[in-house]
């Protein structure tokens, strides 16, 4: 079984793999709603290949808006909103004239119905405007079709930052969750500990694969033992939030959020949806009848229950 200490020493920042701009063949008209927001239409035609189109659209946006002298900044590509019901992925997140926009690419009726749902959810956030480029006309009424996906391990990526540990905690008291032992988050954390019991080495290996750590590529299950001394790893989760992961045999695998800047809804949604993702993954391991951890098995359930008895306002912060 692999040593976590050795692996963490070898993990460096993964560079963003920016491929060259590919120009698609112009075949037909592209429909758009830019004019609904007093934005000039973009002269671009979708090819039907999403990654190619994203590159082409980014190039066209930057060139056109520079020529028009309209302030534009690309905030993110493949941006993920974490909502109470699931994760909403936005192909391109923009800021134009100090207004936030989410740009969607529509290729067929399924994409069109999902856009309606995404637009409605973004309107509920009261900050983001939904714009689109489409290969089909967007006229008439369409019933929305859920644009949400479940939280996946690959919704996280490596981060090279080293944030101040004392700002991070597993849980802290809020008006919606004033007491840890009575909170939904405690129930989720307890369930995560219970589900991972004996399977932590598999989860670490699978999570490292999602983070694109080279030696974990491939289909085989690769296990990583929990260390005796606590180690940490910094990742970026949905909505570009920095999250610290800690690993130890004493406390298991824990997520730490910035307790000064992380909204309650974000923390609660991550814990609840990650709990579901871990349960689904563990079931797959059990169906394969894989051997459970023994010598490196953690005492995370004991730690979680002990924290509930202490009735503290901050749980799982780093003592520095």
272 vs 266: CA distance, rounded Å: 10
Helices (H) and strands (E) in the chain — how many of each? 7, 15
Task: Say if residue 161 is in the same domain as residue 306.
Answer: yes
Task: Say if residue 70 is in the same domain as residue 43.
Answer: yes
Q: Which two tokens stand for residue 135?
A: 């290969």
Reported as a pLDDT band with limits 50, 70 and 90, residue 220 is confident
% of the chain at pLDDT higher than 90: 82
Task: Say if residue 168 is in the same domain as residue 270.
Answer: yes
Tell me the CA distances in angstroms from 125 to 76, 83, 89, 121, 227, one per residue in order.
Answer: 18, 10, 15, 7, 41
Reported as a pLDDT band with limits 50, 70 and 90, residue 279 is very high
Three-class DSSP category at 221:
coil
Query: 208 with 216: CB under 8 angstroms?
Result: yes
Q: Which of 105, 123, 149 lies at the terminal end of a domain, its last residue?
A: 149
Residue 8 inside a domain? The answer is no
Over 70: is that where the pLDDT of 210 sits?
Answer: yes
Q: Determine the pLDDT at residue 217.
A: 83
Q: Determine the pLDDT at residue 3.
A: 66
Over 70: is that where the pLDDT of 61 sits?
Answer: yes
Residue 320 inside a domain? The answer is no
Q: List all residues 6 or more positions away from 71 whose beta carbon is below 8 Å from its beta carbon.
A: 65, 95, 96, 97, 98
Q: Determine the pLDDT at residue 1.
A: 75
Q: List all residues 6 or more positions away from 215 whose beta carbon is below 8 Å from its beta carbon.
A: 7, 222
Tell me the CA distances in angstroms from 150 to 80, 89, 190, 206, 266, one per residue in order.
Answer: 11, 11, 21, 17, 15
* Length of the chain counted residue by residue: 320
Average per-residue pLDDT for the chain: 91
Over 80: is that where the pLDDT of 7 sits?
Answer: no
Task: Say if residue 77 is in the same domain as residue 180.
Answer: no
Mean pLDDT throughout 246-264?
96
Q: Which of 132, 149, 166 lies at the terminal end of a domain, its last residue?
A: 149
Containing structural domain, residue 37: 31-149
Q: What is the pLDDT of residues 159-185, one digit of tens each?
A: 988 899 999 999 999 999 999 999 999
Reported as a pLDDT band with limits 50, 70 and 90, residue 9 is low
Q: Which of 149, 183, 202 lies at the terminal end of a domain, its last residue?
A: 149
Q: Determine the pLDDT at residue 247.
A: 96
Side-chain half-sphere CA neighbours of 14 within 13 A: 17
Mean pLDDT throughout 122-143?
94
The helix (run of H) or strand (run of E) holding residue 130 is strand 128-134
Q: Determine the pLDDT at residue 21.
A: 33
For residue 43, give the nearest of 55, 21, 22, 26 by alpha carbon: 26
Task: Say if residue 129 is in the same domain as residue 158.
Answer: no
Q: What is the pLDDT of residues 281-307, one digit of tens each?
A: 999 999 999 999 998 889 999 999 999
Q: Determine the pLDDT at residue 23.
A: 37
Q: Which two tokens stand for residue 56?
A: 């082409």
Task: Say if residue 71 is in the same domain as residue 186.
Answer: no
């Amino acid at each position: 079984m692999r040593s976590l200490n050795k692996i963490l020493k070898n993990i460096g920042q993964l560079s963003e793999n920016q491929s060259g701009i590919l120009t698609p063949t112009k075949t037909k008209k592209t429909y758009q709603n830019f004019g609904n927001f007093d934005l000039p239409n973009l002269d671009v035609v979708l090819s039907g290949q999403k990654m190619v189109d994203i590159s082409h659209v980014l190039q066209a946006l930057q060139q056109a808006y520079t020529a028009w002298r309209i302030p534009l900044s690309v905030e993110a590509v493949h941006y993920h909103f974490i909502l109470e019901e699931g994760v909403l992925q936005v192909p391109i997140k923009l800021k134009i004239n100090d207004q936030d926009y989410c740009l969607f690419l529509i290729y067929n009726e399924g994409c069109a119905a999902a856009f309606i749902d995404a637009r409605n959810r973004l309107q509920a956030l009261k900050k983001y405007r939904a714009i689109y480029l489409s290969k089909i006309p967007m006229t008439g009424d369409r019933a929305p079709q859920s644009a949400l996906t479940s939280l996946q391990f690959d919704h996280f990526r490596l981060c090279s930052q080293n944030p101040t540990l004392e700002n991070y905690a597993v849980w802290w008291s809020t008006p919606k969750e004033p007491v840890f032992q009575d909170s939904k988050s405690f129930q989720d954390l307890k369930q995560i500990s219970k589900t991972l019991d004996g399977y932590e080495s598999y989860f670490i290996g699978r999570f490292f694969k999602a983070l694109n750590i080279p030696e974990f590529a491939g289909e085989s299950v690769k296990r990583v033992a929990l260390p005796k001394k606590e180690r940490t790893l910094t990742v970026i989760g949905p909505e570009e939030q920095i999250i610290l992961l800690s690993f130890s045999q004493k406390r298991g695998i824990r997520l730490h959020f910035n307790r000064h800047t992380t909204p309650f809804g974000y923390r609660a949604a991550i814990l609840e949806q990650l709990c579901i993702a871990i349960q689904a993954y563990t079931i797959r391991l059990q169906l394969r009848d894989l051997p459970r951890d023994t010598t490196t098995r953690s005492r995370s359930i004991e730690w979680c229950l002990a924290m509930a008895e202490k009735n503290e306002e901050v749980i799982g912060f780093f003592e520095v």
